[in-house]
Structure 1
Amino acid sequence: MDKRNNIDVLSRCVDYLARNKRSVGVELNKANELTDLVDYNKEQRLDLNLIRVFCTVCEYQSITQAADALMLTQPSVSNAINRFKVLVGAPLFFRQGRGIAMTAIAKHLYNALAPMLVEIEQTVQSVKTFDPNTANRVFTVNANESFIDLIQVEIEQATATLPIEIVFNESNVDEQELYQELQSQQLDLALDIVAPKEASFKSQLVASESLACVSRGDHPQFAHGIDQASYFAAKHVFYRFQRQNQRVAELIATRHLPTRQMQGEKSSLLSMLSAVSKSDAICISPYTYAKNYQQVFSLNIMEMPFPSQKMDIYSVWTSKNHQDPANKWLRTVVNNAVAKVYQKTVV
């Protein structure tokens, strides 16, 4: 009985389809069009993660480094960039040497999207809470050894009763490496002598340091100071530290300096002062740092023999961490330590 009923129902359905073939076909076409539209919308729907990946690749100009920064695999980053390229409908990168470079469209998109992404991240960061009395955290700060030497004690005193550690990184990197380490969160903060120009970074002037010319204490030629002729005639021990493709002396000079004779180059200020104390060569050092080691190495500290400006010191951090309570606390502690050492009020 059930079998006959099923056959009857099936027969009636076939008859209905035969009588209404055209109308059913129209409905099926509409259904197919609707399905295609849904699939199209899925493909065109903006995934905000693609923007983050795109901006990171733009910043590093490298799929590999972007993947490391985002803690993703290289294929995942490549796939995201390809999806974003399909969404945009235009090429975004092209190969240049061993790396990649942005197309004009990619540059336009990055300039428009990066500030929005930073603003979103700042908004999210601003609602976080941070209590230095309970936060068990390690902060990493990059600084020149002279800065570290001056503020380390102040930092240790400020954090003595807290479950927080501030670790200083003395690596002598160039600007691009420094900024990449900040972007990739390897560093929380940096103290540097040049303020970054990129919108993805923030900076604050925290102090200004005078530089001095240094020789060994018993140098017969410089018992009463040094003049320009003697300065450029002498041999120099250089400190291996450059910004904007210039050494410190060129950065602070108010006019172009003649070429100096190099006796040697040191990667450490301390080793530079030590070398000068054992030779007839001279060097340039932050005045406060040289003063701290004057007796240790029996140094003669002299005024610079040419017109020069002070060396500014900036704290530098990423724009996306500008409103982060933890990073704001770190900046306050470090800036106050610098201000106390230099007896300068931080603005």
Structure 2
Amino acid sequence: MHISRLDLNLFVVLNAIYTEGNITRAARSLNLTQPALSHALGRLRAMLDDPLFVRQGSLMAPTPLTRALIGPVRQSLNTLAASVQQGHRFDPATTRRSFAIGLRDVLESKLLPPLIGRLKRDAPLIELSSVRADRRELESDLAAGALDMAVDVLLNLSSAVRRTALLQDTLVVVARDGHPVLADGLDLDGYLRHSHVLVSSRRKGGGIEDLELARLGRHRHVALRCQQYHAACRVVADSDLLLTMPEQYAQAANPALPNRVLPLPFATPTLDVYLYWHEAVEQDPANRWLRATLLELFGG
């Protein structure tokens, strides 16, 4: 018989009758009526094709099959109970757990060093994977448990995905040391006189800065479109191209390069970054702990 055809609750009944040796006492221990317990025993007898217990006066004596089963059944029930109980406890100092966080590369340099430092101090057995998540699959990945949580910009997801604000950033301009635009200060006209690098995972379309320029009736020339800010910063260091990028990543990516980080000479919306998780793990102690840790490190 395949295990999928078994009602595992019936083995709780088997254990109770074996322990108590009596139908009435077993029913009382499980908070069941005697007819309900007798019915459950009947189902188990039919499934296993064995009487399981035979009446000897007021006692229920186990058959050889029951005596053979009771050890593994008790061990399995105890293991299951311990696993369920452990699932409701989480001690970061002693629990071994792996987390997968959907995290875009632009945020890794900001989030991972402080987070790994905190895990090393408070949760040395925690393993962390930062993975790139397709925004189109983010909700299904969170629902399936392929991701424990994700950090990204504001996304249009269902109410099953919970979110809270984590970071706020602004756009800045990166230019090489000695760039002509630095001589007179970077204003809007100077910004538009020069060609630009645009970093985007999309093949077409502009960035937030292009939307704001369009509202002003202005347009910039994009000479290079690439996928990674790291590569774009290196291009800027060896050219007169300008790069517009999030400030926190710009400060992390450029210290080793001969580049300057300058204020963007026109207003754009702030870049709000959110922490996402699925409602299924809302009360999971381990997930709650990691969310609280991220908010403590970056939410202030």
Same fold by TM (over 0.5)?
yes
Q: Evaluate the alpha carbon distance shift between residue 174 and residue 167 of structure 1 in structure 2; reply closer, same or farther with a 3 A threshold.
A: closer
Counterpart position of 1:34? none
Counterpart position of 1:294? 254
2:141 to 163, 169, 181: 181
How big is the shift at 1:281?
Answer: 0.8
How big is the shift at 1:202?
Answer: 0.8
> d(CA) in 2 for partners of 1:229 and 1:260?
10
Counterpart position of 2:178? 218
> d(CA) in 2 for partners of 1:176 and 1:251?
23
Q: Is the 8 A contact 1:207 1:313 kept in 2?
A: yes
> d(CA) in 2 for partners of 1:323 and 1:255?
44
> d(CA) in 2 for partners of 1:246 and 1:317?
29
The range that moved more, 227-236 or 209-218, is: 227-236
1:218-263 deviation line (CA, Å, top 9, x unaligned): 1112334322223233221111146xx7624357779466443222
Q: Is the 8 A contact 1:250 1:256 kept in 2?
A: no
> d(CA) in 2 for partners of 1:318 and 1:298?
43
Counterpart position of 1:336? 296
2:99 to 139, 147, 158: 139
How big is the shift at 1:147?
Answer: 2.1
Equivalent residue letter for 1:167: S
1:284-306 deviation line (CA, Å, top 9, x unaligned): 11212222333311112111111
> d(CA) in 1 for partners of 2:280 and 2:212?
31
Counterpart position of 1:57? none
> d(CA) in 1 for partners of 2:209 and 2:118?
33
> d(CA) in 2 for partners of 1:319 and 1:252?
35
Percent identity, please: 24
Q: Is the 8 A contact 1:195 1:203 kept in 2?
A: no
Q: Is the 8 A contact 1:196 1:202 kept in 2?
A: no
2:240 to 280, 286, 295: 280
In structure 2, runs of 5+ residues without a counterpart are 1-83
Q: Is the 8 A contact 1:137 1:164 kept in 2?
A: yes
How big is the shift at 1:271?
Answer: 1.0
**DSSP 3-state at the match of 2:283:** coil
Q: Is the 8 A contact 2:210 2:220 kept in 1?
A: no
The two structures, once aligned, show a CA RMSD in angstroms of 2.7
How big is the shift at 1:283?
Answer: 1.0
1:230 to 185, 190, 195: 190
How big is the shift at 1:198?
Answer: 1.6
Is the aligned partner of 1:167 residue 2:154?
A: no
Equivalent residue letter for 2:169: E
In structure 1, runs of 5+ residues without a counterpart are 1-123, 340-344
Write the mapping of 1:288-327 to structure 2, written as runs, cut at 5 A: 288-327=248-287
2:222 to 262, 268, 273: 262
**DSSP 3-state at the match of 1:221:** helix
> d(CA) in 2 for partners of 1:275 and 1:293?
13
TM-score by length of 1: 0.55
The range that moved more, 210-219 or 140-149, is: 140-149
Counterpart position of 1:240? 200
> d(CA) in 2 for partners of 1:283 and 1:204?
29
> d(CA) in 2 for partners of 1:236 and 1:179?
34
Q: Is the 8 A contact 1:217 1:300 kept in 2?
A: yes
> d(CA) in 1 for partners of 2:264 and 2:224?
20
1:284-335 deviation line (CA, Å, top 9, x unaligned): 1121222233331111211111112221111111122222222111111222
**DSSP 3-state at the match of 1:133:** coil
Q: How many residues align?
A: 212
Choose between structure 1 and 2: higher helix proportion: 1
Q: Is the 8 A contact 2:210 2:219 kept in 1?
A: no
The range that moved more, 308-317 or 215-224, is: 215-224
2:109 to 123, 144, 149: 149
Q: Evaluate the alpha carbon distance shift between residue 160 and residue 266 of structure 1 in structure 2; reply closer, same or farther with a 3 A threshold.
A: same
Q: Evaluate the alpha carbon distance shift between residue 220 and residue 144 of structure 1 in structure 2; reply closer, same or farther with a 3 A threshold.
A: same
